Each structure stands twice: as C-alpha cells, then as structure tokens.
Amino acid sequence: MRKILPVLLALVIVVGCASEPKEFKSEAGNFSVMTPVTMEETTNNEITALGTIVNHKFGGENRSAAYVVMYFDFPPSVPIESKVEEVLAGCRDAEIAGLKGTRTSEKSIKVDGAPGNEFTFTGVISGTNFDAKARMFVVGKRFFYIVALNKENKATAEQVDNFLNSFKLLKK
C-alpha cells in the first residue's frame, strides 16, 4: 500500500492539473475557441511586399501542447479573393519551413463557407519533438491560422481536435 499511495497521489495531481477547456473570445478578431490554456495576445508589425501587416497572435501552452490562434488582415488594395489557394499554400509552406518541420498530410476544408486547408506536420523545437495539426483559411480580407503543437505525443488526438473544431467565427 505504501508503494501504491505515491503513484495514486501523482496520478491525482496530474489529472487534477488537466484543465477543462474554457471559451476564449476575441471581439476584434471576430472569433471564439475553447481552449485548455490561458491565451495571451501579442501583436507585431511585419513589413511585407504587400505593405505592413499587423499579426495578432493568441497563444498558450501546458505540459502537453501549445495552442495558437493567429489572424491578420490583408491591405484593402490586395485582390486576395482571386488568389486564396496560392496564399494558403504559401503560408502553409512558410510556417512549416519556419519550424523546420515536415508536412505529413493535407486536405481542403471550409470554415463557415470560407476556403481553407487543414494539414499536419512534425518537427523539433528546442530539442522537443512535436506533431502539429493546423488549419488556415481566409474570410474576406482576413487570414486565420489555428494550430495545436503536440509535445512528444502528450496531448490526445481528441484534445487537439476539440481545440481545432471549437473555433467559431462570431456573427457580425
């Protein structure tokens, strides 16, 4: 019994630390998502060939995964509507390359009727292996990126899918 008690106590602590997902809402970003972590916002200006773009990133992590929602608006002068597939492919490739990852799957999706793609990739960040599942899509001039980075398979597929599937656009 003395050997079992520490194991049971450790299990209770670990299970007790698992946080129930809570709704995170960004009125400015026009979205909500159920997340098991506290989301913190950061913004940065990126100078691109299209002009300056303001990236809005909401992210947080726990021992098993990192969860991120990011969006930015294309400048009004950019005719994004006719180049959505090209933009999605370029952003996907840049994200995977930036994380020195390898794409493992991809499929086209729609989010509230908006065109997008869902893809998975693997990589290593600071010596930690990860598997990621992400979605990118464009609504009007707004680009969205939602990703769960699973650290060494500590998060379940259900946890990752629950995060991605909970993403909703707010009605305007």
pLDDT digits (tens, 9 = 90+) for 17-72: 456 889 999 999 999 999 999 999 999 998 887 788 899 999 999 988 999 999 99
Query: What is the distance between the alpha carbons of residues 142 and 73, in angstroms, rounded to a whole number?
Result: 4
59 within some domain: yes
132 within some domain: yes
Residue 61 makes CB contacts below 8 A (sequence gap 6+) with 37, 67, 149
**Which pLDDT score is estimated for 156?**
87
Q: How many domains does the chain have?
A: 1
Domain with 108 in it: 21-169
60 within some domain: yes
DSSP letter at 46 equals: E
Starting at the edge strand that comes first in sequence, how are the strands of the sheet with 168-169 ordered? 22-26, 31-35, 168-169
**Which pLDDT score is estimated for 14?**
41
Query: What is the distance between the alpha carbons of residues 65 and 132, in angstroms, rounded to a whole number?
Result: 9
pTM: 0.84
For the CA atoms of the chain, what is the radius of gyration?
18
5 has pLDDT over 50: no
151 within some domain: yes
Of 73, 60, 67, which Cα lies nearest the Cα of 29?
73
**Which pLDDT score is estimated for 17?**
47
Query: What is the distance between the alpha carbons of residues 116 and 113, in angstroms, rounded to a whole number?
Result: 9
CATH label of the domain that carries residue 131: 3.40.1000.10
Give the dihedral of Cα atoms 68, 69, 74, 76; nearest 10 deg: -160
150 within some domain: yes
Give the pair of three-digit tokens for residue 151.
Answer: 């650290």
pLDDT digits (tens, 9 = 90+) for 79-137: 888 888 888 998 899 899 988 899 999 999 998 888 999 999 998 888 888 999 999 99
